[in-house]
Chain A
Amino acid sequence: MHTHASFFRRPDSSMTPMLSHVTSRLTPIRATLVLAILLIVGSLWMPDFLQSQASNWIIFGLLGVSLVFVWGKAGIFSFGQGAFFGIGGYVYGIASINLVAVTNETVSAVVLATLGAAVAAGLLGYFIFYGKVGDVYVGVVTLASTLVLFTFMSSTASPVYHVGDALLGGYNGMAGIPPLTVGWPGGSPVALTIWQTLAILVALAALVLCVLYTLLARPFGYIVSAIRDNEQRTQLLGYDIRLRKLVVFMIGGAIAGLAGALYAAWGMFISPTVFGLQQAALVVIWVLVGGRASIAGAFFGVVFVEGLSTLLGSGGGNATPVVLGVVLILVVLLLPQGTVPALQSWLRPRTRASSTPVEAPAAEFSGGAVDPLMPPGLSAGSSANSSLRVNGLLKRFGGLTAVHDVSISFAERGVHCLIGPNGAGKSTFFNLLAGRFSPTSGQILFAGRDMTRAEPHTRARAGMGIKLQIASIFPGHSVHENVWLSAYAKLHSRAAAEARATEIIDWLGLGPLRHVLAGELSHGQKQWLEIGMVCATAPGIVLLDEPTAGMTRTETARTAALISSLGRYANVIVVEHDMAFVRQLNVPVTVFHQGSVFASGRLEELQQDERVLNIYLGRHGGQRA
């Protein structure tokens, strides 16, 4: 199957470097508040029907925002926001019908509905994210869930199906839902007028938006966008992405539920069609038209698509779906990022930093009392038991044994190379250490702790730093943000992470490129960046998979120096093909062959060994499977 993962994770270039945005991070919030006030005041002059229409659009807009948050910001493609919308609506209906006589208000019903939807999202999210369901499949599971709800709720026609005084109503829907009402027990209920409803809705929407913008500007927001940008790398840094995705999904569910409750109050009616395929697709369409990653875009998409259908429905009845279909196709072809980002880039053209390739900095790697090469954060004396021991590690794929009963012990500190011909099992062994595969049998002990079946993020937190073969960085974030995210994973302090990030970037020699998007770096620079990110987590053991793949001679030499200096403070295991590089490192080497350890020693000795030469050249002397 294709790596459909990449289809959902296009870099979002709207994340700008952090340091320079202390003030401008307030702008979306300020803009929201200003717009909200303008709308509330301005709507006093709007005719009734427009106020009611605007209320409807704001409600749908909130539903769209919930999808923008979970999909555009966090990369979770939920095809089932309608499910939480509907749950919110039905819970509001049930709660308000039963409570309004007693409490004279329906605000509590709105709160209950929001909570109900959040709980539902929590349950479904737990099922999905802790079950490692990914990408398209999340879409399918969420779609199936909303359709199940549709099927179920459509069949509750009989009066048997009721909660207190509220009849579920089946396909006909729940009738008799009270509108938004304020009051208190013992007082008298006051149903809000059309304008008052609009004002409250605008205020609520503004509140939700401000909360979201604030969240997104905090470390939580950066981590969430990192998950969207490169989920695997986020996990390898030690973040528990399952938990974060669950939280995001619950927030999205709560917002959708809130919208649903308000919808039921606005129409005084809710029916199972909110759970149907058409509604599910509509949410996606609003968001895509408005701009997948744009919160403001959700409102625009709603107004545009719904406004267009309303207009068409009252005019050329026959042509409505055709026109809507044509418009959708045009939007996809002409405005692929969605309308709001297109408008934004039209009004404020962004200057993209030109990708000037950086030559290897002139820094001399001389020795000295204070080691200028010391990777920041790692101290020479750090004890951190960083031994790695592997006992009888075995990995079978069906009939093929890739790693055959390997037992090695890697000493406390220093660099160690793993080499071997293609198919020798080095990569599989590496992936077993990294936690990307789980072994058929055997044991992995890191610093004395059993890490055999630990999740990748657990290994990272325990001090294992992992750099995969293909540069796995956050292409949509700046160099600084990349390293900051890595440092924050360990330090949990924004300021400390800032400081550490600056140090490491300087150490790497990438200072001038601090604010460049990582996706625009040259290949070699990306590899260094990733090494730097691994260092930022102050690991006790570092696993590097072909770090010099695709590098030039000069870059390779520099990488050797970086790794050597790293080796003074951590246990570095490097899988490599490039013999020149291995020679530069001048460290102990282990040769793999057909899944087992074949030989180990220093490179010069091994290069004289007939047996080793045989396996590399595929000669008769070497055993064949």
Chain B
Amino acid sequence: MEHASIGWLLNIGVSMALSIAILALVSLGLAVMFGMMGIINLAHGEFLMCGAYVTLSLTRIDVPLWLAIPLAGLAVGVLGYGVERLLIRFLYGRLADSMLATWGLSLIMAQLTVLAFGPSTQGIPTPLGSLSIDGYSFSRYAFVIIVCAMLLMALVYLMFTRTSYGVMARAAVQNPAMAAAVGINPRKLNALNFAFGAALAGWAGGLLAPMVGVMPSMGEAYIARAFMTVVVGGPGIITGTASASLLLGGIENVVSYLSTPFFGQGALLIVAIIAVRLLPTGISGRWQRQL
């Protein structure tokens, strides 16, 4: 570490914020599914990948990126709705079976994508270029990602507290029998929950597409870490994801910088293990938060 200048500090800070934001982004959809429905969706990475590919295809037909990404998320949400109706709804309460079936689904989705788009990586050029502060270059798009991560968490919060769907969904989680008794349709709610979780994954994929390579197996890189973030985070969808991302993403980034990304990854895993040991119900479980 050479000069402790403003530019350098900013660079470290932005890099860390970016790591945390990316982890939060890829985990949010999984958190919704796990927290709201108790489903472990091993195809989560593939929904993310779908969002990236839809974004890619839209930009190829000249839809501007800032429009393509939201549309991609919605498209993946629709896909999620369909998947829920056709497959997931048979699997509630069967945690292990949901893992098996969604693993099968992930194989299918990945290979269909290969057949449709080919195996090689494709890409979208990163927009917005860079800006220079104190001799250090920053990618403007990194800021976009950080801001969007926060926006999406705010969106989740608003969805669950301000819309009738959200309020019903939370009620159904707290007391399913009672919710059904007052007329909330659990089946429709489940489908919407899953669709929402899928859409979040799609938005994450779309946002990441200009930064990383878009390829059929891109989901694999994220599923394990997303899974761990969700479990370490605990039942609170937003508080859990945010706190776990801060903890795991922050530590990974710091350790990567101080040594190598290999140790960074190892550190993330080890911290996850220790966190689960010390806080068996997750970070937000301690605080007894639902959101």
Direct contact of A and B (CB under 8 A): yes
Q: Is the interface of A mostly helix, strand, loop or mixed?
A: helix
Q: Which residue of chain B is the closest to A288 with respect to CB atoms?
A: B100
Return chain B residues, CB-CB under 8 Å to A133: 276-277, 280
Which segment, of A45-53, A263-271, A322-330, A501-509, faces chain B?
A322-330
Is residue A332 contacting chain B, with contact meaning CB distance below 8 A? yes
Assembly CA distance A228 to B114 (angstroms): 42
Number of A-B contacts (CB under 8 A): 128
The verdict on A134 contacting B96 (CB below 8 Å), with A140-B228, A277-B220, A321-B110 known, is no
CB-based contact A137/B276 at 8 Å: yes
The verdict on A136 contacting B101 (CB below 8 Å), with A77-B96, A144-B269, A324-B107 known, is no
Return chain B residues, CB-CB under 8 Å to A1: 35, 234-235, 281-282, 285
Is residue B95 contacting chain A, with contact meaning CB distance below 8 A? yes
Which segment, of A145-153, A385-393, A516-524, A535-543, faces chain B?
A145-153
Closest beta carbon of chain B to A231's beta carbon, Å:
14
Which segment, of B3-11, B55-63, B86-94, faces chain A?
B86-94
Closest beta carbon of chain A to B200's beta carbon, Å:
20
The verdict on A136 contacting B108 (CB below 8 Å), with A1-B281, A285-B100 known, is no
Return chain A residues, CB-CB under 8 Å to B151: none
Is residue A369 contacting chain B, with contact meaning CB distance below 8 A? no
CB-based contact B224/A143 at 8 Å: yes
Assembly CA distance A292 to B105 (angstroms): 20
From 286 to 330 in chain A, residues with beta carbon under 8 angstroms from any chain B beta carbon are 288-289, 292, 318-322, 324-329
CB-based contact A144/B101 at 8 Å: no
CB-based contact B111/A319 at 8 Å: yes
From 91 to 146 in chain B, residues with beta carbon under 8 angstroms from any chain A beta carbon are 91, 93-97, 99-101, 103-108, 110-112, 114-115
Is residue B158 contacting chain A, with contact meaning CB distance below 8 A? no
Return chain A residues, CB-CB under 8 Å to B223: 277
CB-based contact B107/A322 at 8 Å: yes
Return chain A residues, CB-CB under 8 Å to B30: none
Is residue A215 contacting chain B, with contact meaning CB distance below 8 A? no
Q: Which residue of chain B is the closest to A278 with respect to CB atoms?
A: B220
Against B, the Cβ 8 Å flags (1 = close, 0 = not) of A106-137 are: 00000000000000000000011001111011
Assembly CA distance A8 to B38 (angstroms): 12
Assembly CA distance A128 to B274 (angstroms): 10
Return chain A residues, CB-CB under 8 Å to B94: 7, 336
Is residue B207 contacting chain A, with contact meaning CB distance below 8 A? no
Closest beta carbon of chain A to B290's beta carbon, Å:
9
Return chain A residues, CB-CB under 8 Å to B107: 321-322, 324-325, 328
Contact size range, B: 35 or more
Number of interface residues of A (CB under 8 A): 47
Return chain B residues, CB-CB under 8 Å to A258: none
The verdict on A144 contacting B272 (CB below 8 Å), with A281-B42, A325-B104 known, is yes
CB-based contact A2/B115 at 8 Å: no
CB-based contact B269/A322 at 8 Å: no
Return chain A residues, CB-CB under 8 Å to B280: 131-134, 137
CB-based contact B104/A144 at 8 Å: no
Closest beta carbon of chain B to A200's beta carbon, Å:
33
Is residue A141 contacting chain B, with contact meaning CB distance below 8 A? yes
CB-based contact B110/A331 at 8 Å: no
CB-based contact B38/A140 at 8 Å: no
Is residue A38 contacting chain B, with contact meaning CB distance below 8 A? no
CB-based contact B262/A288 at 8 Å: no
Assembly CA distance A147 to B224 (angstroms): 9
Most buried by A among B224, B234, B282: B224
Return chain B residues, CB-CB under 8 Å to A327: 104
Is residue B265 contacting chain A, with contact meaning CB distance below 8 A? yes
Return chain B residues, CB-CB under 8 Å to A288: 96-97, 100
CB-based contact B276/A147 at 8 Å: no
Closest beta carbon of chain A to B46's beta carbon, Å:
10
CB-based contact A127/B110 at 8 Å: no
CB-based contact B224/A131 at 8 Å: no
Is residue A284 contacting chain B, with contact meaning CB distance below 8 A? yes
CB-based contact A336/B97 at 8 Å: yes
CB-based contact B115/A318 at 8 Å: yes
Return chain A residues, CB-CB under 8 Å to B82: none
Is residue B273 contacting chain A, with contact meaning CB distance below 8 A? yes
Q: Which residue of chain A is the closest to B87 with respect to CB atoms?
A: A329
CB-based contact B262/A131 at 8 Å: no
CB-based contact A140/B266 at 8 Å: no
Return chain B residues, CB-CB under 8 Å to A6: 93
Q: Which residue of chain B is the closest to A10 with respect to CB atoms?
A: B94
CB-based contact B104/A332 at 8 Å: yes
Closest beta carbon of chain A to B65's beta carbon, Å:
30
Assembly CA distance A2 to B111 (angstroms): 34
Q: Which residue of chain A is the closest to B278 with respect to CB atoms?
A: A131
Given contacts A77-B96, A141-B276, 20 further A-B contacts (CB under 8 A): A6-B93, A7-B95, A8-B95, A136-B231, A281-B103, A284-B100, A289-B100, A319-B111, A320-B111, A321-B107, A322-B112, A325-B104, A326-B104, A328-B101, A329-B87, A329-B101, A332-B100, A332-B101, A333-B90, A336-B97
Interface residues of B (CB under 8 A from A): 35, 38, 40, 42, 87, 90-91, 93-97, 99-101, 103-108, 110-112, 114-115, 173, 220, 223-224, 227-228, 231-232, 234-235, 262, 265-266, 269-270, 272-273, 276-277, 280-282, 285
